[in-house]
Chains A and B, each alone.
Chain A
Amino acid sequence: MHYVFEPGFFASGPVHVALAVGTVVAITSAVVGVFTVTRGQSFAGHSLADIATTGGSGAFLVGVNQFWGYLAFGAGAAAFMEMIGIQRRRGRDVATGVVLGAALGLAALFLYLGTQYSTTTGASFTILFGSIFVLTPSTVPALIASALLALATVAALARVLLLTSLSPDIAAARGVPVRAVGAAFLMALAVSVALSAMIIGAVLSTALLIGPAATALRLAKSPVRAAITAAVLGVLAIWIGIVLAYDSFYWPPAGRGWPVSFFVVTLIVGGYLITYLRRDRQSAPQENVDAEQACSPA
Chain B
Amino acid sequence: MFTGVMVNTWIAATAVAIIAGVTGFFAVLRGSTFAAHTIPNGAFAGAAGASLLGLNPFAGLAVFSVAGALGIAGLSRRSRPDVATALTFVMMLGIGALFVSWSSQYAQEAYSLLFGEVFGVSTDEVLPILVLGALSIAAIVVMFRPLMLSSALPEVAAARGVPPRRMDLAFLLVMALATSMTVPVVGALLMFSLMIGPAAAARSLTARPVLAMTLSVVIALVTVWTGIVASYQSNWPLGFFVGILGAAFFLAGRAYAAIRRDRTERSSDRPANPGLVPG
Taking the complex as a whole, does A directly touch B, i.e. does some CB pair lie under 8 Å apart? yes
Q: In the complex the two chains form, what is the Cα distance from A272 to B88 in whole Å?
A: 12
**In the assembled complex, B180 has its CB within 8 A of some CB on chain A:** no
Interface residues on B, range: 35 or more
Contact in complex: A108, B32 (CB < 8 Å): no
Contact in complex: A40, B80 (CB < 8 Å): yes
Output the nearest chain A residue to B147 by Cβ-Cβ distance.
Answer: A298
Contacts of A89 in B (CB 8 A): 31
Contact in complex: B189, A104 (CB < 8 Å): yes
Q: Mark B61-82, 1 if CB is under 8 A from A, else 0.
A: 0000000010011001111111
A296-B200 contact in complex given A37-B83, A46-B86, A203-B93, C-beta closer than 8 Å: no
Output the nearest chain A residue to B36 by Cβ-Cβ distance.
Answer: A97
Output the nearest chain A residue to B235 by Cβ-Cβ distance.
Answer: A112
Which of A107, A265, A272 is most buried by chain B, counting CB atoms within 10 A of its CB? A265
Contact in complex: A298, B72 (CB < 8 Å): yes
**In the assembled complex, B193 has its CB within 8 A of some CB on chain A:** yes
Contact in complex: B101, A259 (CB < 8 Å): yes
Q: In the complex the two chains form, what is the Cα distance from A40 to B175 in whole Å?
A: 23
Output the nearest chain A residue to B27 by Cβ-Cβ distance.
Answer: A298
Contact in complex: A102, B192 (CB < 8 Å): no
Q: In the complex the two chains form, what is the Cα distance from A38 to B269 in whole Å?
A: 42
Contacts of B73 in A (CB 8 A): 297-298
Number of A-B contacts (CB under 8 A): 234
**In the assembled complex, A26 has its CB within 8 A of some CB on chain B:** no
For window 28-86 of chain B, which residues contact chain A by CB distance below 8 Å?
A: 28, 30-37, 69, 72-73, 76-86
Q: In the complex the two chains form, what is the Cα distance from A99 to B72 in whole Å?
A: 23
Contacts of B30 in A (CB 8 A): 296, 298
Q: Is the interface of A mostly helix, strand, loop or mixed?
A: helix
> Which of A90, A121, A284 is within 8 Å of B77, CB to CB?
A284
Contact in complex: B83, A101 (CB < 8 Å): no
Give min CB distance, A14 to chain B, whole Å: 18
Contacts of B36 in A (CB 8 A): 97
Give min CB distance, A269 to chain B, whole Å: 5
Contact in complex: B34, A105 (CB < 8 Å): no
**In the assembled complex, A256 has its CB within 8 A of some CB on chain B:** yes
Q: Is the interface of B mostly helix, strand, loop or mixed?
A: helix
Q: Mark A40-53, 1 if CB is under 8 A from B, else 0.
A: 10110111000000
**In the assembled complex, A253 has its CB within 8 A of some CB on chain B:** yes
> Which of B79, B152, B237 is within 8 Å of A214, CB to CB?
B79
Contacts of A256 in B (CB 8 A): 101-102
Give min CB distance, A132 to chain B, whole Å: 12
**In the assembled complex, A219 has its CB within 8 A of some CB on chain B:** no
Interface residues on A, range: 35 or more
**In the assembled complex, A109 has its CB within 8 A of some CB on chain B:** yes
Which of A3-11, A17-25, A143-151, A286-294 is the interface stretch? A286-294
**In the assembled complex, B172 has its CB within 8 A of some CB on chain A:** yes
A97-B200 contact in complex given A210-B83, A296-B32, C-beta closer than 8 Å: yes
Q: In the complex the two chains form, what is the Cα distance from A45 to B83 in whole Å?
A: 11
Contact in complex: B239, A108 (CB < 8 Å): yes
Contacts of A285 in B (CB 8 A): 78
Q: In the complex the two chains form, what is the Cα distance from A101 to B95 in whole Å?
A: 24
For window 256-298 of chain A, which residues contact chain B by CB distance below 8 Å?
A: 256-259, 261-262, 264-266, 268-269, 272, 276, 284-285, 287, 289, 291, 294-298
- For the A-B complex with A89-B31, A206-B86 known, give 14 more contacts whose Cβ atoms are closer than 8 Å: A94-B28, A102-B243, A102-B247, A111-B111, A111-B115, A203-B89, A210-B83, A210-B90, A257-B101, A262-B101, A265-B94, A295-B81, A297-B81, A298-B30
